[in-house]
Amino acid sequence: MAYNARIRRPEFLLSLEQVNSIAGAFGREMAEGLAGRDSSLKMLPSFLTVPDGTEQGRFIAVDFGGSYIRALDVQLDQGKAGILGYQKKALPAAGSASELFGFAAGLVAGLVSPGSYLGHTFSFPCRQVDVNTAYLLTWTKEITTPGVEGQDINRLLHRELAAQGSPVRPVAILNDTVGTLLTAAYNDPHADIAVICGTGHNACYLEPCSPITGRPMIINMESGNFNKLPYTVFDEQLDAASDKPGRQRLEKMAAGGYLGELARLVIVELMAQKILQGADGLTLFGRPYSLTTADIAGWVAQGSVNPWLGERGQAAWSEEQSRLIVPVCREIMLRSAQLAAAAILGTIKHLDPGLAREHTIAIDGSLYEKAAGYAGEVERTISASLGEKAGQVKLKLVKDGSGIGAAIAAAIACKEEV
């Protein structure tokens, strides 16, 4: 690991050479996974292709992400989508599958909507056998509700809807990356890759020739599990103490669910070495996951830790201490952006090595949308790697893809049912 002795702090940023080498390894893992060989990229089929813009009607969407569950009432009309109403609640600490999906069904019941077909964005790795049947392979994002892994997710949801007397029927299930790609492609024919840079990290793309059907299909790469990466000692430490060591290695370096914890581990180490002093370290930084990505994003945006310390009744750090920590946090955030860029570069190389056509990359997630300098770093890294061909690649923030995309998936499934 790079540990800069002169300024006495670890370094996280990647060189362009490292980014290119990660992109190369990513492309190779894609090919292995697609061919059904051992790979850290699961390359899961979605049984969906991109919409053609003619999908229309009113549909219910359930968006089951990392931090919240939402139910939405969505109107689709010839390439335009509108959210007519929604209910949103924090994910409960549920003790059983029935409690969890009963909670989601309750949100659907709270919608005033004439829609009766439901698309379900379920943002976890699932083995899908058709557009409406997906078995959860493993929980991610440190969620552990028992009785859900291995189950047919829409069956669990349908059972709870029926138990609450709801006539609503799930007709499609999809990953949030897939929803984001569907939303972008609804009115952009160049959209063929989507990335989530939020609590979790993942990407999908439109494979022109699915090994299952021989036709175009969106593949959920579950790229958060990619593991051909240069790890720092802090990445190793975080992984070892996580719920599932060895899994989701890219996610643990790139996702909002983990960046605050990485920074906390650095701070704890610098305190142990007495490089960082002052502040009641144990109270503030002693508990795992007590420092959030939003906290460190705030430090980076303000250029100081002191307002945050002040809010917690702690004495300010010296200028020197802030100068030590704020750049580390900035680098942790920017490395995440570089890793997202490397995954995008690897995917583009697989799809179109000579960059003969245009590609729109749909991106959603709070890091990309809100963190200072993040979107710029993704763009800069891709441009630096692609050089004069960079103009073929457009990055686009696509909000609400997991809600609108679920409605588009339901519309596609209903078209196919006819």
Q: Which of residues 205-264 bind ligand BGC (CB under 6 A)?
A: 222, 224, 251
d(CA 87, CA 98): 19
Decide if residue 179 touches ligand BGC (CB under 6 A).
no
d(CA 139, CA 149): 7
Any long-range contacts for 282-286 (C-beta under 8 Å, 24+ apart)? Answer: 284/309, 284/312, 284/314
What the block records as the tokens of 297 is: 């994003």
Stretch that binds ligand BGC, among 197-205, 269-277, 356-364, 367-375 (CB under 6 A): 197-205
Judged by CB, which is closer to ligand BGC: 193, or 270? 193
Stretch that binds ligand BGC, among 6-14, 158-166, 174-182, 379-387 (CB under 6 A): 174-182
* Among positions 29, 176, 188, 331, the unique one binding ligand BGC when judged by CB under 6 A: 176
Stretch that binds ligand BGC, among 181-189, 199-207, 345-353, 354-362 (CB under 6 A): 199-207
* Among positions 10, 115, 125, 401, the unique one binding ligand BGC when judged by CB under 6 A: 125
Judged by CB, which is closer to ligand BGC: 242, or 304? 242
Cβ neighbors of 311 (< 8 A, separation 6 or more) are: none
**What is the smallest separation between the CB atom of 66 and ligand BGC, expressed in angstroms?**
6
Judged by CB, which is closer to ligand BGC: 10, or 45? 45
Per-residue contact flags (x/-) with ligand BGC for residues 35 to 74, judged by CB under 6 A: ------------------------------xx--------
**What is the smallest separation between the CB atom of 65 and ligand BGC, expressed in angstroms?**
6
d(CA 88, CA 97): 19
d(CA 309, CA 53): 50
d(CA 327, CA 128): 42
Judged by CB, which is closer to ligand BGC: 19, or 254? 254
**What is the smallest separation between the CB atom of 279 and ligand BGC, expressed in angstroms?**
32
**What is the smallest separation between the CB atom of 324 and ligand BGC, expressed in angstroms?**
31
**What is the smallest separation between the CB atom of 197 and ligand BGC, expressed in angstroms?**
9
Buried b / exposed e across 307-341, counting CB within 10 Å, b at 16+? ebbeeeebeebeeebbebbbbbbbbbbbbbbbbbb
Strands (E) located in 65-210: 68-77, 80-90, 117-122, 126-130, 133-136, 169-174, 191-197, 201-207
Decide if residue 124 touches ligand BGC (CB under 6 A).
yes
Q: What DSSP string describes 165-193? A: T---EEEEEE-HHHHHHHHHHTS-TTEEE
**What is the smallest separation between the CB atom of 217 and ligand BGC, expressed in angstroms?**
17
* Among positions 46, 113, 166, 177, the unique one binding ligand BGC when judged by CB under 6 A: 177
d(CA 41, CA 30): 6
**What is the smallest separation between the CB atom of 118 and ligand BGC, expressed in angstroms?**
19
Stretch that binds ligand BGC, among 194-202, 299-307, 313-321, 325-333 (CB under 6 A): 194-202
d(CA 35, CA 50): 22
| Residue pair 130/75 in contact by the 8 Å Cβ criterion | no
Judged by CB, which is closer to ligand BGC: 229, or 276? 229
Residue 67 carries which DSSP code? S
Helix (H) or strand (E) holding 156: helix 153-163
**What is the smallest separation between the CB atom of 166 and ligand BGC, expressed in angstroms?**
26
Helix (H) or strand (E) holding 60: strand 57-64
What the block records as the tokens of 141 is: 């994002």
Judged by CB, which is closer to ligand BGC: 160, or 176? 176
d(CA 345, CA 386): 8
Judged by CB, which is closer to ligand BGC: 18, or 366? 366
* Among positions 48, 60, 76, 196, the unique one binding ligand BGC when judged by CB under 6 A: 196
Helix (H) or strand (E) holding 62: strand 57-64
Decide if residue 183 touches ligand BGC (CB under 6 A).
no
Judged by CB, which is closer to ligand BGC: 196, or 341? 196
**What is the smallest separation between the CB atom of 405 and ligand BGC, expressed in angstroms?**
12
**What is the smallest separation between the CB atom of 244 and ligand BGC, expressed in angstroms?**
11
d(CA 45, CA 47): 6
**What is the smallest separation between the CB atom of 123 and ligand BGC, expressed in angstroms?**
4
Q: Interface residues with ligand BGC (CB under 6 A)?
A: 65-66, 123-125, 140-141, 175-177, 196, 198, 200-202, 222, 224, 251
